[in-house]
Structure 1
Amino acid sequence: MSPLLEPAPWPQPLPEASPPAEVAIHHLPTGTYVTRAALAFKGGSFGDKRHFASSAVLVRHPKGDLLIDAGFGADVAAHIAMLPRFVRAPYEAGPTVSSQLDDAGYDRRRLLGVLPTHSHWDHVSGLDGLRDTPIWMNADEREYAASDPDGKVYRSVSQGHEIHEYGFDDRPYLGFASSHDVYGDGSVVIALAGGHTTGSVVVFVALPAGQRYAFIGDLTWQIDGIRRRAERPWLLRKLADSDPEQLRQGLLRMIALDGLMQIVPAHDLDSYRGIPLLSARAAGQPA
């Protein structure tokens, strides 16, 4: 199958960022579920089983920490039972984000909130163990999550949570038309991508040593979507994406950035390589 036309590489320097020395990120894996590569991207094989990650990433910052996504929760079995039968898949649950934070001795008073890349079940299930943590969500995603059938699990687990609604500036960021600089120092920038859900986002993170990351949610489910320039199969685009053309444009923007940063599709477990797990020592560092 023909890949997407290759976009021109990003032609400019990356945006300036001045992350404080304490900024760090940690991978909190919470489990996996099985999907065939043929269902994940064009050209994938039915014989190629992919173990889709369900993870969170903790971003440490002296002004307060953020969790990107929430992974599987303690009630993940009940959450999966809320889904249509045809999308349920065999899964293996690991320690929840909540238990990993507690096991590391993490002080939850540091948490500003949980920032879902979007509101689908496998990104928000773990909110069930983070009851006192605000949910960061933009207006478009709040509207989507409140009414779309795929927001059913979110509507259940978000009950009782404070919602912190953030907005976007009309400030382009790496090809995306609008963005929100969380701390004002370029260390965490949220860009409105849309396409998968109405308000789905890409979260760009810059570390003090110069590493750059892009947590792209479900712009593609596997890194093959970037490296092979491969969209989801036609039927999956129809079922999974609110605006396939908008999603395609976001995917092309990220393909143009490949090689300039570590791109992390939320469900590609290998893409998290090199991001340390949360340890008691790391959790105890002053913020």
Structure 2
Amino acid sequence: MSTRISAEPWRGPLPEAHPPASLRIHHLPTGTYETRAAFAIRGGSFSDKRQFAASAVLVQHPKGDLLIDAGFGAHVADHIRMLARMERAPFTATRTVAEQLNAAGYDRSRLLGVLVTHVHWDHVSGLDSLRVPIWINRDERRYGAEDAHGAVYRAVSEGLSIHEYTFDGPEYLGFPASHDVFGDGSVVVAKAGGHTLGSVVVFVTLPEGERFAFIGDLTWQLDGVTERLERPWLMRTVADLDVGEVRTNLARTIALSDRTHIVPSHDLRAYAAIPLLSPEPAAGGAR
């Protein structure tokens, strides 16, 4: 029996989107942690060391900006000590999202909050220094409050306001329900549970028509999409709440891979098409 995930390419129309001309996205890398391909993808080699990305993506929209996830925070070492011993790994932290925003001269009043793909530690650690609203759905909020893997989230979210959105929109590119953040189709959150109770995929359409799918941890590495491979059995058992649901949602993602840039959260290669955040032009300067 084949170990590869079966997925027919998406041949239907792409959803209508009207992104404003000023919409931009930027990659904010905050560090990496080390693991082995044998723990990342089915059939991976133990000798193949992988540097897992811990990143955020800034979406700039005239109605307000959002971060997709938060990367490593100022207290990431403390956060790692909160994990089970088997989940700890050597890590390298660079600048936090907050530090990168400050260095770029970014106007924090434009930031609506952090839209989390899910609440595992390496996606929310940076909330400790951002202190902005958390955009989250009810299922993921409950998971973060109750599951053992939500310990870091509970620590960094204390005192922060919560923007709880609902999946009030239709099926989206094969995913069962959606939420259109700005009402123009430029940023759409799709329900994609299984890794956690309320994990999501965030679809972003740029003014030029280029499309991105930020898939969180449906797979940790691009190999999961290009080679159609899920996580190894042990890691599926440890990391995923519903293995079958993750497999189904990964198949939906694979089906879109020739129409959309697929961005697994922890593969730096997937961010290659996204520019870093540069300093803002001085007032009255060239644009």
Smaller-chain TM-score bracket: over 0.9
Q: Any idea what SS the aligned residue of 2:280 has?
A: helix
Does the Cα contact within 8 Å between 2:54 and 2:72 map onto a contact in 1?
Answer: yes
1:169 has 2:168 as partner? yes
Structure 1 282/27 Cα, relative in aligned 2: closer, same or farther at 3 Å? farther
Mark the runs of 5 or more structure 2 residues left unpaired by the alignment.
none
2:123 corresponding residue in structure 1: 123
Q: Any idea what SS the aligned residue of 2:125 has?
A: helix
Letter in 2 for 1:148: D
Q: Deviations over 1:137-165 (max 9, x none)?
A: 00000000000000000000000100000
Structure 1 283/63 Cα, relative in aligned 2: closer, same or farther at 3 Å? farther
1:83 corresponding residue in structure 2: 83
Q: Any idea what SS the aligned residue of 2:101 has?
A: helix
2:146 corresponding residue in structure 1: 147
What do you get for the CA RMSD once the two structures are aligned? 1.4
Counterparts in 2 of 1:21-170, with a 5 A limit? 21-131=21-131, 133-170=132-169
TM-score (norm 2): 0.97
Does the Cα contact within 8 Å between 2:169 and 2:180 map onto a contact in 1?
Answer: no
Does the Cα contact within 8 Å between 2:196 and 2:240 map onto a contact in 1?
Answer: yes
How far apart, CA to CA, are the structure 2 residues paired with 1:116 and 1:170? 18
Q: Any idea what SS the aligned residue of 1:73 has?
A: coil
Does the Cα contact within 8 Å between 2:31 and 2:72 map onto a contact in 1?
Answer: yes
- Kindly state the Cα deviation for residue 282 of structure 1 after the two structures are TM-superposed: 6.8
Structure 1 171/20 Cα, relative in aligned 2: closer, same or farther at 3 Å? same
- Kindly state the Cα deviation for residue 169 of structure 1 after the two structures are TM-superposed: 1.8
How far apart, CA to CA, are the structure 2 residues paired with 1:95 and 1:136? 23
1:200 corresponding residue in structure 2: 199
How far apart, CA to CA, are the structure 1 residues paired with 2:181 and 2:169? 15
Counterparts in 2 of 1:172-251, with a 5 A limit? 172-251=171-250
Letter in 2 for 1:161: L
Q: Deviations over 1:107-155 (max 9, x none)?
A: 0100111011000000000000011x10000000000000000000000
1:258 corresponding residue in structure 2: 257
- Kindly state the Cα deviation for residue 259 of structure 1 after the two structures are TM-superposed: 1.2
How far apart, CA to CA, are the structure 2 residues paired with 1:39 and 1:221? 10
Q: Any idea what SS the aligned residue of 1:214 has?
A: strand
Q: Any idea what SS the aligned residue of 1:62 has?
A: coil
- Kindly state the Cα deviation for residue 170 of structure 1 after the two structures are TM-superposed: 4.7
Does the Cα contact within 8 Å between 2:64 and 2:111 map onto a contact in 1?
Answer: yes
Structure 1 67/46 Cα, relative in aligned 2: closer, same or farther at 3 Å? same
Q: Any idea what SS the aligned residue of 1:136 has?
A: strand
1:12 corresponding residue in structure 2: 12
- Kindly state the Cα deviation for residue 228 of structure 1 after the two structures are TM-superposed: 0.7
Q: How many residues get paired?
A: 284
- Kindly state the Cα deviation for residue 283 of structure 1 after the two structures are TM-superposed: 9.9
TM-score (norm 1): 0.97
How far apart, CA to CA, are the structure 1 residues paired with 2:128 and 2:5? 41
Does the Cα contact within 8 Å between 1:42 and 1:232 map onto a contact in 2?
Answer: yes
How far apart, CA to CA, are the structure 1 residues paired with 2:252 and 2:37? 23
Letter in 2 for 1:268: D
Q: Deviations over 1:166-222 (max 9, x none)?
A: 000250000011000000000000001000000000000000011100000000000
Structure 1 170/65 Cα, relative in aligned 2: closer, same or farther at 3 Å? closer
Q: Deviations over 1:29-51 (max 9, x none)?
A: 00000010010010110010000
How far apart, CA to CA, are the structure 1 residues paired with 2:228 and 2:40? 13
How far apart, CA to CA, are the structure 2 residues paired with 1:197 and 1:61? 28
